[in-house]
Amino acid sequence: MPKPPRTGGDGIAEGKGSVRQTSTARTGNIGDETTGLMEKVVRRENLLEAHRRVVKNGGAPGVDGMTVHELWGYCREHWSRHREELLGGTYQPQPVRKVEIPKPGGKGMRTLGIPTVLDRLIQQALLQVLQPIFDPTFSDASFGFRPGRSAHGAVRRAQAYMREGRRWVVDMDLEKFFDRVNHDALMARLARRLKDKRVLGLIRRYLQAGMMEEGLATPRTQGTPQGGPLSPLLSNILLDDLDKELTRRGHRFVRYADDCNVYVKSKAAGERVLASLERFLGKVLRLSVNRDKSAVDRPWRRKFLGYSVTCHREPKLKVAPESVKRFKEKLRETFRQGRGRSLSTVMKELGRVTRGWVAYFRLAQVKGVFENLDEWIRHKLRRILWKQWKRPWTRFKELCRRGLAEARARQSAFNGRGPWWNAGASHMNQAVPTSELRRLGLMSLIDEYHRLARNC
């Protein structure tokens, strides 16, 4: 997208509606950290950065159908009015658009709430002002949705606790966390730090904005739908009380968003921790623990952020079996579409998925899974070729063309076996060697893993 202009109109950029001319006209001592926050939210530099991030993140339109690429033109025409509404405390967010996506593993559906791009812009501008206020106060054991922190840091911290001899884990799952967030409990925690009532009122209106489905908006009395830029920070603000309680009790724990693992030295200790945390969450944060998904167990029988570990005294990180299964399911759709396309096209699409997957799991210290997946992918690609050749005589000619002796090619082409068996047979391995697949653009997962592991 071209760089937004710096002049003209009533938009975010300079002009007669410029924030610079009115930023001190409203209430607030802007030098105070938590008063005059709305002036900081609508400051020109903050809005331009928010616009850049919203456009970069992309995403589907909200209920009004406006795309991220139409946002700049809309703001040039209408931003002056919205700015006055924000500064006056009267801005009313639009309902979010309800979208349901399958949960990982296909167990149920996850509900997302997609705000309009204008509301995403305002939420992002809020986030940029509020994050520096709250983030420094968060626990060192909190890794989700925080600047300079990542899932990799959480996984490494968990491994360190296991190395200390804490070989039992309280794997705690909060039941429908984003759907069950209590608005009053969250607003009380925001009000501890924020004094600008316009910001507090705006956040509450975002929490209560209806969810649109089939043209009808349903009001919300609890929950903070996933999909808006502000939701991750709000979840961290609410769950910070859990972090502080765990720290006060002296526990070793790691939390990434609503995934929280507490590492202890015995099963009995773990059962006590889980029961006490269940009481704390219900009484203080008004949240409930999903007992069906929560457990006190050995870490190597559980997964955390897609990883698991070996049962050695020095536990090694490995890709959890569930993560491998989900990865294969994701690739199967590409393979299903491959029959009518060239292998090089299929491999380009595979590369877009496999490269990111290997980058995420580059911390794994058990590398056999990458070798097994390489073999499975090659098998799938040879199966595509076998099916593309369709008839026995076509297969016979292709095998001969690729160097097989005529007698062996005829026997292989007319053997009556299915595509999967033939794709793994020696005649297809000889006719379509790995070097040929590499030449066509196949990325080796194990080679990519070694390359990334060297740079870790």
pLDDT in the model for residue 320:
97
pLDDT tens, residue by residue, 144-164: 999 999 999 999 999 999 999
pLDDT tens, residue by residue, 81-110: 999 999 999 999 999 888 877 776 556 677
Round to the nearest angstrom and report the end-to-end CA distance of the chain. Answer: 33
Cα-only R_g, the chain: 27
pLDDT tens, residue by residue, 399-438: 999 999 999 999 999 999 999 999 999 999 999 999 999 9
pLDDT tens, residue by residue, 276-311: 999 999 999 999 999 888 999 999 999 999 999 999
235 contacts 181 by C-beta, under 8 angstroms: yes
Compute the distance between CA of residue 320 and CA of residue 13 in angstroms, rounded to an integer: 49
192 contacts 33 by C-beta, under 8 angstroms: no
Strands of the sheet with 259-264, listed across from one edge: 252-256, 259-264, 168-173, 295-297
Question: Quick one: which H or E segment has residue 98?
Answer: strand 96-102
pLDDT of 31 over the 50 cut: no
Q: Which residues pair with 254 in a beta bridge?
A: 261
